[in-house]
Amino acid sequence: MSQFIHVGFGNIVNTEKVIAVVSPESAPIKRMVQTAREAGTAVDATQGRKTKAVLVMENGQVVLSALLPETIANRAQTGREEYDEA
């Protein structure tokens, strides 16, 4: 069964497809986001706010979120614990 995580503003992502959740501050991540925007594989879930986390998906897409990477990781971990208890 697929687990989903809320990445802000009513947007959700399948946790099984996420490879990494990273900060957008480093130059390599900025280049990855720019390349994804140009290729049309970036999903902007920030609603116009500052990007604070970049989710790298297994199909090469990147999801931009206005939530901190720690927040997303905590939500993913909490969801996994709730699933394990059921």
**What average pLDDT does the structure give for the chain?**
93
Cα gap 8→56, rounded to integer Å: 16
41: pLDDT confidence band, cut at 50, 70 and 90? very high
For residue 70, give both structure tokens. 């720690």
pLDDT of residue 84 exceeding 90, the answer is: no
Cα gap 78→31, rounded to integer Å: 31
20: pLDDT confidence band, cut at 50, 70 and 90? very high
